[in-house]
């Protein structure tokens, strides 16, 4: 069954907050949002679905539950029509922790929302304050608990390299997202957009954007926490459908189209390397086979075969092969020279 996502971008829409990294204010001035046009957008998208597709409507962008109540209900009514007739199977939205309360969750339940993605960004009050998020870590914890208790799927969104953040605060945030019952996560390394407070802070030296290498390493470390806790990481880095990653909009920071692939590649490298260190590779003339799951080849081998090259060099491997198999568990097999044929 093909999973099809129908993203509906809801921009700033009068958000009263002023998060330093946010460029929604400048975007929303340029991309006017007209709720009524969503009806046509949805109808067009639904018309492209095939029988048997698992389609989901996703209200992304700003804070869905923070927009004016009439617009929110109007959008939910539009979406429910497709849930009721069976053409769409699920609804998801993204919002902020302080726009979650009993009343809002009651409305979302009534309209059959399945998944709520919460823009947590950090679970550290020092970082939240430096980013002028306008809510505390306690608010975030409370919102996560309420979402899970009301039977919604929770997805936690966090950022890497925010002002005043360090690796410790990022690892802690990832751990709390897992402990609070999230089923999914997104990791966004901080990109500095023009026309934001963060851009001013970077220009004045108050904030130093993280490098691409740092973004990869720090994202990899939180990704490992999510994977170890069976929290599915849906995305690492911004994507163009989020209307945010065009190069002209970016002043500085790790805005790389293949960031997710690079981060996952690094995690694969660490994992394969630690298996080899544990095994004490001793296969100088034989063949070393890394067994991976289906669809994992490019991440395991790394961009431009970077992982393969580093492993061969470090462990003195002459023949290294990556093999996709029916397995969820990464493993390494060593075939000594006398037992394999070319
Ligand atoms: S990040 Fe979200 S909450 Fe913060 S200013 Fe932008 S739209 Fe508002």
> What's the pLDDT score for residue 239?
66
Q: How far is CA 13 from CA 26, 62, 65, 95, 268, in A?
A: 11, 7, 11, 13, 40
Residue 14 near ligand 1, beta carbon < 6 Å: no
Report the distance separating Cα 320 and Cα 333, nearest Å. 10
Please name the residue whose Cα sits nearest to atom 1 of ligand 1: 22
Task: Tell me the pLDDT tens digit for each residue of 188-226.
Answer: 999 999 999 999 999 999 999 999 999 999 999 999 999
Report the distance separating Cα 289 and Cα 323, nearest Å. 7
Q: What are phi and psi of 285, to 5 degrees?
A: -115, 0
Please name the residue whose Cα sits nearest to atom 6 of ligand 1: 22
Residue 94 near ligand 1, beta carbon < 6 Å: no
pLDDT band at 49 (very low <50, low <70, confident <90, very high): very high
pTM score, two decimals?
0.91
> What's the pLDDT score for residue 29?
46
Dihedral angle over CA of 244, 245, 250, 252, nearest 10: 120
Work out which ligand 1 atom sits closest to the CA atom of 16. Answer: 8
Q: What are phi and psi of 48, to 5 degrees?
A: -85, -5
Among residues 97, 84, 94, the alpha carbon closest in space to that of 46 is found at 84
Residue 96 near ligand 1, beta carbon < 6 Å: yes
Distance, first Cα to last Cα, the chain = 39
Site to substitute for ligand 1 among 27, 33, 63, most atoms within 8 A of C-beta: 63
35 CA from centroid of ligand 1 (Å) = 19
Among residues 299, 287, 167, the alpha carbon closest in space to that of 233 is found at 299
Domain regions of the chain by residue span: 3-257, 268-339
> What's the pLDDT score for residue 12?
65
Task: Tell me the pLDDT tens digit for each residue of 65-122.
Answer: 998 899 899 999 999 999 999 999 999 999 999 999 999 999 999 999 999 999 999 9
Percent of the chain with pLDDT over 70: 93
Dihedral angle over CA of 39, 45, 46, 47, nearest 10: 110
Q: Is the pLDDT of residue 35 over 90?
A: no
Please name the residue whose Cα sits nearest to atom 2 of ligand 1: 62
Task: Tell me the pLDDT tens digit for each residue of 232-246.
Answer: 999 998 765 554 557
268 CA from centroid of ligand 1 (Å) = 34
Task: Tell me the pLDDT tens digit for each residue of 266-283.
Answer: 999 999 999 999 998 877
Residue 156 near ligand 1, beta carbon < 6 Å: no
Q: What are phi and psi of 35, to 5 degrees?
A: -50, -35
Q: Is the pLDDT of residue 331 over 60?
A: yes
Architecture of domain 3-257: Alpha-Beta Barrel (3.20)
> What's the pLDDT score for residue 317?
92
């Amino acid at each position: 069954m093909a999973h099809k996502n129908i993203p509906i971008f809801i921009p700033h829409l009068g958000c009263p907050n002023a998060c330093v990294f946010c460029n929604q204010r400048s975007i929303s001035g340029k991309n006017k949002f007209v709720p009524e046009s969503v009806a046509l957008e949805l109808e067009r998208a639904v018309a492209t679905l095939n029988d048997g597709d698992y389609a989901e409507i996703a209200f992304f962008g700003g804070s869905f539950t923070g927009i004016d109540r009439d617009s929110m209900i109007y959008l939910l009514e539009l979406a429910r029509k497709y849930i009721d007739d069976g053409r769409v199977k699920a609804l998801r939205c993204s919002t902020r922790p302080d726009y979650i309360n009993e009343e809002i969750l009651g409305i979302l339940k009534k309209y059959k929302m399945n998944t709520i993605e919460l823009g947590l960004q950090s679970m550290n009050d020092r970082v939240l304050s430096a980013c002028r998020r306008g809510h505390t870590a306690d608010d975030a914890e409370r919102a996560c608990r309420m979402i899970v208790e009301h039977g919604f799927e929770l997805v936690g969104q966090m950022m890497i390299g925010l002002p005043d953040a360090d690796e410790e605060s990022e690892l802690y945030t990832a751990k709390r997202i897992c402990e609070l019952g999230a089923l999914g996560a997104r990791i966004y390394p901080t990109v500095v957009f023009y026309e934001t407070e963060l851009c001013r802070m970077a220009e004045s030296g108050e904030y130093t954007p993280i490098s691409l290498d740092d973004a990869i390493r720090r994202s990899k470390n939180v990704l490992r926490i999510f994977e170890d806790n069976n929290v599915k990481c849906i995305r690492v880095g911004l994507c163009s459908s989020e209307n945010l990653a065009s190069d002209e909009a970016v002043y500085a920071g790790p805005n790389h189209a293949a960031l997710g692939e690079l981060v996952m590649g690094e995690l694969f490298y660490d994992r394969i390397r630690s298996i080899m260190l544990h095994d004490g590779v001793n296969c100088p003339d034989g063949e070393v086979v890394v067994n991976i799951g289906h669809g994992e080849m490019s991440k395991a081998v790394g961009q431009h075969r970077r992982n393969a090259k580093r492993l061969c060099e470090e462990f003195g491997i002459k023949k290294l092969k990556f093999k996709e198999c029916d397995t969820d568990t990464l493993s390494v097999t060593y075939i000594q020279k006398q037992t394999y044929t070319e």
